[in-house]
């Protein structure tokens, strides 16, 4: 089994192995005193893996209950958060028991927040089932639900007690979702280069456990350096400033991973056109995105993207942070004004959508 230790405000392990769902009872039993576990999942994942996870928990002596929300981003809302918390009460969950998050990013974010708030905090075991949630959302303690006026606007930093990545769950992931996760994997490769870059150039599916481990290690380094996202962790936003604008302008019709891939390529081309990185660097990033069937630009015009990015500006108190690319493995954080974003958008477009 691959294990990555996270030493943040609390210490925990990320376990990576095929078939790990069946060990979640044993792992959880070592972490909590209580013997009640509430599994929170969605209508896509619960029918596939809900019973298997509950069965593993029961074998380890847990009394289990399962709370299922409809699959999809629109479920990540305060109403479902409160319903989940009410269900914790109905299930008799105490502070020494556990919330188990079983699903993709919507579930890991919402169940993480439910665990953070219920009785001021119970143990949360994250079991991400999408590539995106394995390499990003389940690790690092960011939890949230969306408000009608903004994505992830209502949340908390709350580290889980363990993260279990069962990579065999990826076999049931729709292809487009797998590609979305790959956008974040490419992001880590651009940030750090090295091993991950060569793993991506191999047959990625065959080395997916190694890829997940490497991404978690990279994320671990950023989270441990800056758990509360005040500096270093913002490198993880590579491609996200433009990516968020693409997501928002499409009314979230364009998936996060696709938007980040396009955002990363726009920044890479702009950096090449400004003489900050080489043409070859920008081309390599595009090539990686194309390899995983991700877009390298968007059909949305630059003016619309610029307007959409203004709400990020408000959120960051008048400044915008753009992660710039000098080379693969050599990025830097540029705190700037929206004017600079106009320049990125004018110099970075032109990729074939």
- The least distance separating ligand GLY from the CB of residue 137, rounded to whole angstroms, comes to 6
- The least distance separating ligand GLY from the CB of residue 141, rounded to whole angstroms, comes to 8
**Closest to ligand GLY by CB, 233 or 269:** 233
- The least distance separating ligand GLY from the CB of residue 166, rounded to whole angstroms, comes to 21
User: Per-residue x/- mask for ligand GLY, residues 219 to 248, rule CB under 6 A?
Assistant: ----------x---x--x------------
Options 36, 76, 142, 217; binder of ligand GLY; rule CB under 6 A? 142
Look-up: residue for tokens 């509950």? Answer: 54
Which two structure tokens, joined as six digits, stand for 47? 């029918």
Q: How far is CA 163 from the centre of its chain?
A: 13
- The least distance separating ligand GLY from the CB of residue 236, rounded to whole angstroms, comes to 4
| Torsions phi, psi for 228 (to 5 deg) | -100, 20
Options 112, 115, 140, 239; binder of ligand GLY; rule CB under 6 A? 140
- The least distance separating ligand GLY from the CB of residue 224, rounded to whole angstroms, comes to 12
**Closest to ligand GLY by CB, 192 or 233:** 233
**Closest to ligand GLY by CB, 209 or 229:** 229
DSSP E strands: which ranges in the chain?
2-7, 11-16, 36-42, 63-69, 98-103, 123-128, 142-147, 150-157, 162-165, 320-327, 330-336
Look-up: residue for tokens 């962790």? Answer: 233
**Closest to ligand GLY by CB, 105 or 295:** 105
Instruction: Select from 74-82, 136-144, 281-289, 315-323 the region that touches ligand GLY (CB under 6 A).
Output: 136-144
Question: Under a CB-based contact definition with an 8 Å cutoff, are residues 278 and 190 in contact?
Answer: no
Burial (CB < 10 A; 0-12, 13-18, 19+), residue 41, is buried
Options 109, 136, 214, 297; binder of ligand GLY; rule CB under 6 A? 136
- Evaluated on CA atoms 235, 236, 239, 245, the torsion sign reads negative
Contacts of 330 (CB under 8 A, 6+ apart): 193
- The least distance separating ligand GLY from the CB of residue 133, rounded to whole angstroms, comes to 10
**How far apart (Å, rounded) are the C-alpha atoms in residues 298 and 291?**
17
- The least distance separating ligand GLY from the CB of residue 223, rounded to whole angstroms, comes to 7
Residue number of the CB atom closest to ligand GLY: 236
Look-up: residue for tokens 């920008």? Answer: 282
- Evaluated on CA atoms 328, 333, 335, 338, the torsion sign reads positive
**Closest to ligand GLY by CB, 142 or 248:** 142
**How far apart (Å, rounded) are the C-alpha atoms in residues 63 and 288?**
45
- The least distance separating ligand GLY from the CB of residue 20, rounded to whole angstroms, comes to 22
**How far apart (Å, rounded) are the C-alpha atoms in residues 11 and 288?**
34
Any idea what the Cα angle at residue 298 is, between residues 294 and 299, rounded to 5°? Answer: 130
Number of residues forming the site for ligand GLY (CB under 6 A): 6
**Closest to ligand GLY by CB, 140 or 295:** 140
What dihedral angle (degrees, nearest 10) is formed by the CA atoms of 284, 188, 186, 15?
150
The reply to whether 187 sits near ligand GLY by the rule CB under 6 A is no
- The least distance separating ligand GLY from the CB of residue 74, rounded to whole angstroms, comes to 20
**Closest to ligand GLY by CB, 136 or 166:** 136
Instruction: Select from 43-51, 134-142, 159-167, 170-178 the region that touches ligand GLY (CB under 6 A).
Output: 134-142
**Closest to ligand GLY by CB, 88 or 216:** 216
**Closest to ligand GLY by CB, 136 or 297:** 136
Binding site for ligand GLY (CB under 6 A): 136, 140, 142, 229, 233, 236
């Amino acid at each position: 089994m691959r294990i990555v230790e996270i030493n943040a405000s609390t210490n925990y392990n990320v376990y990576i192995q095929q078939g790990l769902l069946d060990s979640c009872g044993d792992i959880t039993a070592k972490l909590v005193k209580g013997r009640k576990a509430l599994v929170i999942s969605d209508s896509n994942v619960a029918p596939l893996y809900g019973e298997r996870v509950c069965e593993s928990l029961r074998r380890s002596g847990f009394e289990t209950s399962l709370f299922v929300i409809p699959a999809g981003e629109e479920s990540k809302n305060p109403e479902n958060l409160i319903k989940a918390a009410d269900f914790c009460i109905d299930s008799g969950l105490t502070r020494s028991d556990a919330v188990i998050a079983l699903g993709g990013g919507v579930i890991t974010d919402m169940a993480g927040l439910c665990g953070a708030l219920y009785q001021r905090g119970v143990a949360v075991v994250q079991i991400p089932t999408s590539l995106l949630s394995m390499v990003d959302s389940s690790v690092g303690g960011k939890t949230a639900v969306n408000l009608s006026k903004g994505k992830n606007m209502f949340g908390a930093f709350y580290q889980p007690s363990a993260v279990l990545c069962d990579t065999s769950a990826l076999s049931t992931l729709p292809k487009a979702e797998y590609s979305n996760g790959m956008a974040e994997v490419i992001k880590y490769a651009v940030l750090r280069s090295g091993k991950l870059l060569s793993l991506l150039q191999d047959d990625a599916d065959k080395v997916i456990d190694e890829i997940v481990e490497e991404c978690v290690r990279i994320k671990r380094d950023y989270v441990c350096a800056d758990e509360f996202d005040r500096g270093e962790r913002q490198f993880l936003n590579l491609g996200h400033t433009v990516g968020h604008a693409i997501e928002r302008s499409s009314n979230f019709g364009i998936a996060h991973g696709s938007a980040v891939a396009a955002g990363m390529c726009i920044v890479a081309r702009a950096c090449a056109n400004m003489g900050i990185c080489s043409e070859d660097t920008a081309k390599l990033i595009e090539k990686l995105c194309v390899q995983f069937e991700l877009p390298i630009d968007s059909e949305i015009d630059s003016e619309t993207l610029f307007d959409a990015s203004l709400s990020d500006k408000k959120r960051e108190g008048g400044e915008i942070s753009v992660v710039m690319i000098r080379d693969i493995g050599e990025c830097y954080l540029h705190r700037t004004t929206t004017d600079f974003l106009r320049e990125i958008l004018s110099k970075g477009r032109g990729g074939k959508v």
